[in-house]
Amino acid sequence: MKDIQVRSLFREPDKYADQEITVHGWIRTNRGSNKFGFIELNDGTFFKSVQVVYEAEFLNNFEEISKAPIAAALMVKGTFVLTPQAKQPFEIKAKEVVIEADSDSDYPLQKKRHSMEFLREIAHLRPRSNTFSAVFRVRSLAAYAIHKFFQERDFVYVHTPIVTGSDCEGAGEMFRITTLDMENLPKTEDGKIDYSQDFFGKETSLTVSGQLEAETFALAFRNVYTFGPTFRAENSNTARHASEFWMIEPEVAFADLSDNMDLAEDMIKYIIRYVLEHAPEEMEFFGKFMDKGLLERLTALVNAEFARVTYTEAVELLKKSGKKFEYPVEWGIDLQTEHERYLTEEIYKKPVFVTDYPKDIKAFYMRLNDDGKTVAACDLLVPGVGEIIGGSQREERYDVLKSRMDELSLDEKDYWWYMDLRKYGGVKHAGYGLGFERIIMYLTGISNIRDVLPFPRTPKTAEF
């Protein structure tokens, strides 16, 4: 019989009852006496391990197997037996066990509690632990849920470029890309570095957002989204910031701010529902060991109708609340996490979109409201985290955009193609950005972004 993956055993145990099966996997634990032993065998396809029972009576190599170390890879042939009376739902009674790859007693991931910091140092092995097995399966499922959500709605997935020739995206500090010989940089006549000799013939950087390019596609396909890596060269060592992270940026033509919020709300609920349904064991684990209130909070979110409040109203509510904040609230300030969390956790007790922020604290491309002071922006705040999505209706009016750029001393020439969109059928459109790691942290209860990225990149850290 072809070898069976452990996931199939857990998903359809009855199908295999009392049959001879072959499985492969790695030893998670191995305890034995001189007559028999038990191995928890994990093949990575499922969060849980299958129990293998082996007996000296049936195995020629009983001695060898009883000493097989953690992480050794095995082939096991035996009878699959349902065990309704026991702690585990079934077990394999081994007839043949072969060590396919040995391990060593210096294996760093022994069966004991390790600190998250230590596990980061062995990022090549940590997916073999319960926590990271669960994190990275949830990450994979959430990524797929996002694609599925947009594809079911006929959105076009667009790969916006990673290498960018302009530093005009305005969302943060950028990494430079070069193939110049750093020890011997070419110079122009006036002593400056001659970037015309660089690979792309000019200065280039890593993208901080695909939004501007996504807009070009939205004005062709109507409904589009990006999902790719994004970079910030900010030297900030916080639990919520990484230098390399993944972002989703939908963009929709013929849509206004309200349509934008509808889409964001539907998407968030879809992702959470999908993960709860497809990773019940992992989610139960997070609810037990990471965050006791997790499943309740996620279920509440899925069933809630998200609130909507303007920034101006939100500021009033915060001021009236009587709550003492570290940063005092006043119209015009950028809301801090403490304000955001108070709004969503205490005032609304559910997710809330805050809309129509002062233009001075938002990006140049957001659509100016009729009051001349605020822009059609929307941030989604969720309990336990604060801001998880930021979006806006885009300024589609050429003249208004131009005068906003003049105010900010942005040169129209650098944005010629972006301005072109406003000349040729530049209809109203809107979009938002979701930091992928934010939603994974929200889903898992993991509090440090370094622990939801397979190989995190942060200031002074680019290992593996």
User: Using the rule CB under 8 A, is 104 a contact of a second copy?
Assistant: yes
Comparing CB distances to a second copy, the nearer of 10 and 364 is 10
What is the rounded CA–CA span in Å between residue 202 and residue 189?
A: 16
Which residues partner with 375 through β-bridges? 357, 368
Asked if 229 touches a second copy (CB under 8 A), the answer is yes
Residue 345's CB is within 10 A of a number of other CB atoms, namely: 17
**For a second copy, the closer CB: 339 or 428:** 428
Backbone angles phi, psi at 157, to 5 degrees: -80, 120
User: By CB under 8 A, which span of 231-239, 260-268, 288-296, 344-352 interacts with a second copy?
Assistant: 231-239
- Which contiguous run of DSSP H or E holds residue 375? strand 374-382
By CB under 8 A, is residue 424 in contact with a second copy? yes
The CA dihedral of 120, 388, 210, 417, to the nearest 10 degrees, is -160
Residue where the block lists tokens 């043949």: 96
Min dist. Cβ of residue 315 to a second copy (A): 33
The only residue of 10, 58, 175, 364 in contact with a second copy, by rule CB under 8 A: 175
Of residues 256-315, those binding a second copy (CB under 8 A): none
Stretch that binds a second copy, among 30-38, 88-96, 386-394, 417-425 (CB under 8 A): 417-425
User: Which of 5, 312, 321, 448 touches a second copy (CB under 8 A)?
Assistant: 5
Look up residue 19 and give its DSSP letter. Answer: -
Query: Exactly one of 77, 144, 273, 364 binds a second copy (CB under 8 A); which one?
Result: 144
Of these, 16, 26, 80, 90, which contacts a second copy (CB under 8 A)? 26
Q: Is 246 in the site for a second copy (CB under 8 A)?
A: yes
Q: Are 390 and 432 in contact (CB under 8 A)?
A: yes
Contact 223, 234 (CB under 8 A): no
Piece of the chain touching a second copy by CB under 8 A; list 55-63, 97-105, 289-297, 325-333: 97-105
Question: What angle separates helix 257-278 from helix 436-444, to the nearest 10 degrees?
Answer: 50
425: left (phi over 0), alpha (psi -120 to 50) or beta: left
Per CB under 8 A, 183 contacts a second copy = yes
Among 103, 258, 312, 336, binds a second copy (CB under 8 A): 103
Of 418 and 432, nearer to a second copy (C-beta) is 418
Q: Considering only residues 349 through 408, tell me which ones interact with a second copy, judged by CB under 8 A.
A: 396
Rounded to a whole number of angstroms, the minimum distance from the CB of residue 44 to a second copy is 4
Pick the stretch among 51-59, 369-377, 385-393, 454-462 that binds a second copy (CB under 8 A).
454-462
Which residues lie below 8 Å from residue 281, measured CB to CB, with a gap of 6+?
A: 46, 47, 48, 134
Q: Are 63 and 35 in contact (CB under 8 A)?
A: no
Burial label, 258 (beta-carbon count in 10 A; 0-12, 13-18, 19+): middle
Contacting range for a second copy; rule: CB under 8 A; set: 13-21, 111-119, 151-159, 376-384: 151-159
